[in-house]
Amino acid sequence: MPNLEHPAYPAATLLHLESLVPCRESQVSTLLSIFGERQQFSFPSIFIYGHTSSGKTYVMQTLLNTLQLPHVFVNCVEYFTSRLLLEEILIQLQSCSSETEKTSHVPCDNLNDFVRLFKQAVASRELQDQTLYIVLDRAEQLREMEANILPAFLRLQELTDRNVTVVLLSEIVWELFRPNTGCFEPFTLYFPDYSIGHLQKILSQNHPPEYSADFYSAYINILLGVFYMVCRDLKELQHLAVLNFSKYCEPVVSGEANERDTRKLWKNIEPHLKKAMQTVYLREISSSQWERLQRDDGEPGQLKGLSAHTHVELPYYSKFLLIAAYLASYNPVRTDKRFFLKHHGKIRKTNFMKKHEKTSNHLLGPKPFPLDRLLAILYSIVDNRVAPTANIFSQITSLVTLQLLSVVGHNDQLDGPRYKCTVSLDFIRAIAR
C-alpha cells in the first residue's frame, strides 16, 4: 500500500514520486496536505529547515517537477542582492510564460515594482486558477538583505492578492530569522538527518546492473561501518561509494573470490578505505588521480595536501611565528634562557626540575604565553634582524584567523594578549623542514 495518497493526483504519479524520494515519505505527505489541490489557496509561506544534505532541495524540486506544479526556484547565494533576486524571479516567470514570446528584461529596483510586475507576469500565465510556488534555497542569505525583503516574501500572497506560496529552504532554525519588529509566522517543517538505515537504503539503490543488489548492499554496509561516525553527508558518501567500488570488486573480477566471500573482499578494501578517511570532504586530488593512486598502490604520504601536512602555504615570517608559538606553548618559561641565549651561564638543576623532568609537556597540552615571549623567541630563532613592524603583528592576527593560534582570555585585558598554539608536532616538523 503506498504511503502517499491525495485525491487531486493520480495514484501512479504518487507511486512514482514515492520511489524518487525514499525515506522522506512523511515530509512529502505533509507538504501535499499543505499544498491541497491546484486551485486551492495554500499556506502563504512555508519554512523548511534541516542540516546539510538532508534532502530539502532535492525533495522540493522532485515534488514540484513530478506533479508539474508551476514554480520558480532561486538560490539566494547565487542571487545575493535584493535586486538580483527579484529580477531573477520575474525572469523565470516570463521565460515560462510562452515558448514563442520573449519579453525584454524589465529592471526591478524595489518591492513596489516587483509586486506590480509580478501581477502582470502571473496574469500573462493565466495562473489565477492554480497555486504558484516560489522556492528560495539557502534562504539564510535573506537576512543580509534589506529589512523589508523577508517580511514581504512571508506575506507575498497578501501583497499581490494572488494564489502564491513562498517556500524558504534553510539550514538554520526559524528563531534566527525572526525580525525584532515581528513578522508573519510561516508554517515550519523539519527535515531530520538520515539515519544509518536510511543511508543504507538510499545508497543501495544505485547498484551497478552487472552486480547483484545483495553484493552492492554488502559493500554499502562496509562503507557505512567505516565512514558513518565521521561523515553523514549523503553526497559525500555517494562520492566515496562510487570512488572505492572498483577496488572492492577486484577480487571478484580476477576470480580470487566470489560475491559471497565477504572476508576476502573486506581484507582487500580495508587499507584503501583507511586512505580515503584522510581526504573526506577535502577534495585535495581529483577522482581520476585517486583511482590512479589506488592502481599504483600508493601510500597515503603521497597525497599532496593539507591532510598529509606536506605543503603549507604560509608567508615567510608566519612560519617562524608558528614555530616560535609552538616552542612557547610546550617549553616552560624557565628553559627560555638555556635554549635561546648563547651565553646563559651555568644552569643549576633544582629538585623541582628533577621531580617533573619525566612528565612530557606534549601530554600536558599547550600552555598560554604572552605576546612579548613569542616575539623574544622569534628574534632568537630567525637569523637576520627582525623589526617589530605592523607586518609582523598582522601575521599573528592571520594565524589566529586560520585557527593555528588561539587567543586566551579577553581582548581588553591590560597586560597584553595571551596566545596558545593549536597545531600538532607533525605539523610543526613539516613547516620546520
3-state secondary structure of 385: coil
pLDDT at 284: 59
The dotted CATH code for 316-341+363-432 is 1.10.10
Report whether pLDDT(303) > 50: no
What size, in residues, is the chain? 433
- Which one is predicted more confidently, 7 or 188? 188
pLDDT at 285: 62
Asked if 55 and 24 count as a contact pair (C-beta separation under 8 A), the reply is yes
CATH architecture entry for 11-190: 3-Layer(aba) Sandwich (3.40)
Quick one: which H or E segment has residue 137? strand 132-137
**Does this model's pTM top 0.75?**
no
pLDDT at 114: 95
Residue 369 has φ and ψ, to the nearest 5°, of -145, 150
pLDDT in tens, 257-288: 888 888 889 888 988 888 787 777 766 566 67
Mean pLDDT over residues 346-371, rounded? 65
pLDDT band at residue 71 using 50, 70 and 90 as cut-offs: very high
pLDDT in tens, 174-200: 999 998 888 999 999 999 999 999 999
- Which one is predicted more confidently, 330 or 169? 169
Q: Which residue has the cell 577535502?
A: 282
Q: Report d(CA 316, CA 314) in Å as an integer.
A: 7
Q: Which residues does residue 168 pair with via DSSP β-bridges, in sequence order?
A: 47, 136
Q: Which residues does residue 407 pair with via DSSP β-bridges, in sequence order?
A: 419
The CA-atom distances, in angstroms, between 2 and each of 10, 16, 26, 197, 207 are 12, 10, 12, 20, 24
Q: Where are the domains of the chain?
A: 11-190, 196-308, 316-341+363-432
Q: Report d(CA 322, CA 191) in Å as an integer.
A: 43
